[in-house]
Amino acid sequence: MNYLTETFTLNNGVKIPMIGYGTWQITEGPDAVEIFKTAIKKGYRHIDTAAIYDNERSVGKAVEECDVDREDLFITSKVKSNIKTYDETIEAFNESLNKLGTDYLDLYLIHGPTPIHDREGNYDQANLEVWRALETLYKAGKIRSIGVSNFRVSDLENILTKAEIIPQVNQIRFFVGEKQEDIVKFCNEHKILVEAYSPLGQGKLLDNPVLKDLAKKYQVSEAQIAIKYCLQKDTLPLPKTKTPSRMVDNATLNFTISEEDMNVLDAIDDNLR
């Protein structure tokens, strides 16, 4: 199976490639353009960026210069978590669209329920305004699917109190040892696809002795075990690497982790928060 072209189907019928290429911490500039072009050449069709990553121009340049048609790519971006009004959200979306050099996005997310500087604040009403803006853009055909990121169950419940459109995606930290079972359960019940960012635990899983043992058993890498775990949990992993060979390895997953070994992985709690 080619996970770069095989798809999940979102609750609105839109198809999304099962593995995305994460771009967090890849700094804007010519090097980033080449990295993103390489990922596309290696077969990635799902590119995940965000306004706060400050690399949307480089993603757009890579898309412009690659030999893949825009409609064959799935591009995600996100509105910054500190933007909490309807008008600012529309403005931020248009700015992202301009930087990316495209006239639509495949997926647009609210990057977080609270601003980074005020994690404990209550932004329920503000998030409803941001969601209303996403719905407006969706209805106008500017976005093919809409969703959220880092939303807890209570944040999702708040959106659902007024939403005309149920979120298609919730992008969260999800990896071996960080299962966030309450959020995943809620999303599954409401047909909201969970996207798994940091599927390698920001690299820390690569040194985990259990993953090392399983990598030897299946004759694959620790990274491949970690990414396949996410897929077998019906989540969409977003691995990030600048290395071309690892781009290929991260999507070469033609093996199945046994139920017994999945249970072993489920039992891991590495406290990697």
> Is 86 designated active site?
no
Cβ atoms of 109 and 171 closer than 8 Å: yes
Phi, psi of 46 (to 5 degrees): -120, 110
Say if residues 228 and 257 touch (Cβ distance below 8 Å).
Answer: yes
**What does R_g of the chain's alpha carbons equal in angstroms?**
18
pLDDT of residue 270: 52
Q: Can you give the pLDDT at residue 249?
A: 97
How do residues 194-223 score in pLDDT, each as one tens digit? 999 999 999 999 999 999 999 999 999 999
Q: Nearest Cα to 232, choosing from 250, 214, 209, 255? A: 255
Q: What is the pLDDT of residues 6-17, one digit of tens each?
A: 999 999 999 999
Q: How many Å apart are CA 36 and CA 63, to the nearest integer?
A: 8
DSSP annotation string for 249-262: HTT-------HHHH
Q: What totals of helices (H) and strands (E) does the chain contain, helices first?
A: 10, 10
Q: pTM for the whole thing?
A: 0.96
3-class DSSP assignment, residue 207: helix
| CA-based nearest residue to 25, from 262, 239, 219, 246 | 239
Query: What domains lie within the chain, and their CATH numbers?
Result: 7-266 (3.20.20.100)
Active-site pick, 53, 123, 138, 229 = 53
Q: Where are the alpha helices (DSSP H) in the chain?
A: 30-41, 56-65, 86-100, 124-139, 153-162, 181-189, 209-218, 222-232, 244-249, 259-266
Condensed to tens digits (0 to 9), the pLDDT of residues 100-125 reads 999 999 999 999 999 988 988 899 99
Stretch 154-180: mean pLDDT: 97
